[in-house]
């Protein structure tokens, strides 16, 4: 317990799935959590859930990660209301299921929408966090994907965006280290995870969720679909001072998929 005591953690995409689970775990470990998402209804639910449990403190902040001014407002609120901005999880992401995304079928509109959220939004998050953290240090955690490490035949734009997150993470890590900011930056590469996005991807792949889940499960070396907590525990380590000597890491949490 209390692995994040005294820290203020911003989590984008925290209204759902992996971001939500990071918010629950971080609050439980003593962080003040800022639930940042464009989905206000579900974001408020997650915030209330944390505060009602009496197991930490959370607030909701409306954020479209693609809008620079909203990042500025978020950082100002963090520092103004809570005194610091110590951890950022860039978790907001777009997959655009239901459309075929092979190199032959990908549309330019889908391509631009995916890059706007998954890499441009993440870049704005990193830039905002560095400015807020450079005096007293901090930890930035970028949620990439195993799709950023391997060919993504059916998710070409998504795979490209996640490969860009992997590469950009290392640039942020090296820049902050060279400047002596005490800001670390690491990426997490989930395999298939049981969230709304993961379930959409599995049902799109086969036309039926149960069939899709079973097909994925059999193809994973550890023979299990990942749960949001599998990623939240990894993010908790990277957010905490336990990982103080870790930067530029690509932490793969995928049941062994990337080994194949």
Ligand X SMILES: NC(=O)c1ccc[n+]([C@@H]2O[C@H](COP(=O)([O-])OP(=O)(O)OC[C@H]3O[C@@H](n4cnc5c(N)ncnc54)[C@H](O)[C@@H]3O)[C@@H](O)[C@H]2O)c1
- Give the nearest distance from C-beta 189 to ligand X in angstroms: 7
- 92 touches ligand X by CB under 6 A: yes
Contacts 24+ apart (CB under 8 A), 72-75: 72/128, 74/10, 74/34, 74/36, 74/128, 75/128, 75/129, 75/131, 75/132
Q: Does 229 bind ligand X (CB under 6 A)?
A: no
Q: Identify the residue among 25, 38, 101, 184 touching ligand X (CB under 6 A).
A: 38
Residue in 117, 149, 238, 257 binding ligand X, rule: CB under 6 A: 117
Q: What is the DSSP string of 93-156?
A: ----TTS-BSTTT--HHHHHHHHIIIIIIHHHHHHHHHHHHTTT-EEEEEE--GGGTS--TTBH
The reply on whether position 61 binds ligand X by CB under 6 A is no
Q: Does 212 bind ligand X (CB under 6 A)?
A: no
Q: Kindly state whether residue 16 participates in binding ligand X, applying the rule CB under 6 A.
A: yes
| Token pair 């479209």: residue | 64
Q: Taken in order 117, 35, 237, 253, is the CA torsion positive or negative? A: negative
CB nearer ligand X, residue 53 or residue 67: 67
**Between 4 and 124, CB nearer to ligand X:** 124
State which residue, 19 or 30, has the beta carbon closest to ligand X: 19
Task: Verify binding: residue 93, ligand X, rule CB under 6 A.
Answer: yes
- Member of 9, 18, 22, 119 binding ligand X (CB under 6 A): 18
Query: Which C-beta is closer to ligand X: that of 30 or that of 226?
Result: 226
Tell whether residue 138 is a contact of ligand X (CB under 6 A): no
**Phi, psi at residue 139, to the nearest 5°?**
-135, 125
Task: Count residues binding ligand X (CB under 6 A).
Answer: 29
Give the torsion through C-alpha atoms of 15, 19, 20, 21, to 10 deg: 170
Residue 91 is a binding residue for ligand X (CB under 6 A): yes
Interacting positions 171-210 with ligand X (CB under 6 A) = 190, 192-193, 195-198
Active site residues: 158
Work out which of 44, 49, 64, 120 binds ligand X, going by CB under 6 A.
Answer: 64
Q: How far is the CB of 146 from ligand X (least distance, A)?
A: 6
HEC letters along 163-214: HHHHHHHHHHHHHHHHHCCCEEEEEEEECCECCHHHHHHHHHHHCCHHHHHH
Tokens of 143: 């949620």
- Interstrand relation of 250-253 and 183-190 (parallel, antiparallel or unpaired): parallel
Span from 52-60, 87-95, 104-112, 245-253 in contact with ligand X (CB under 6 A): 87-95
Q: Which residues bind ligand X (CB under 6 A)?
A: 12-13, 15-19, 37-39, 63-66, 91-94, 117, 121, 143, 145, 190, 192-193, 195-198
């Amino acid at each position: 317990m209390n692995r994040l005591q005294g820290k203020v953690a911003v989590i984008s995409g925290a209204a759902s799935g992996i971001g939500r689970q990071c918010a629950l775990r971080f609050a439980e470990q003593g962080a003040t959590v800022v639930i940042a998402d464009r989905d206000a209804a579900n974001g408020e639910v997650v915030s209330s859930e944390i505060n009602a449990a009496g197991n930490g403190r959370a607030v909701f902040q409306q954020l479209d990660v693609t809008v620079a001014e909203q990042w500025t407002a978020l950082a100002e609120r963090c520092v103004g209301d809570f005194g610091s901005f110590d951890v950022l999880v860039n978790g907001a992401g777009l997959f655009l299921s239901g459309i075929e995304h092979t190199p032959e079928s990908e549309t330019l509109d889908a391509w631009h929408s995916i890059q706007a959220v998954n890499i441009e939004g993440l870049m704005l998050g990193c830039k905002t966090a560095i400015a807020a953290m450079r005096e007293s240090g901090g930890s930035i955690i970028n949620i990439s994907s195993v799709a950023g490490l391997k060919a993504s035949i059916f998710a070409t734009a998504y795979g490209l965006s996640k490969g860009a997150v992997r590469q950009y993470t290392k640039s942020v890590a090296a820049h902050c280290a060279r400047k002596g900011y005490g800001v670390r930056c690491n990426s997490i590469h989930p395999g298939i995870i049981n969230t709304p996005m993961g379930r959409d991807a599995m049902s799109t792949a086969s036309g039926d969720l149960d069939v899709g889940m079973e097909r994925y499960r059999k193809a994973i070396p550890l023979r299990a679909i990942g749960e949001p907590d599998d990623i939240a525990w990894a993010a908790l380590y990277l957010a905490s001072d336990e990982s103080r000597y870790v930067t530029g890491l690509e932490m793969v949490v995928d049941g062994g998929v990337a080994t194949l």
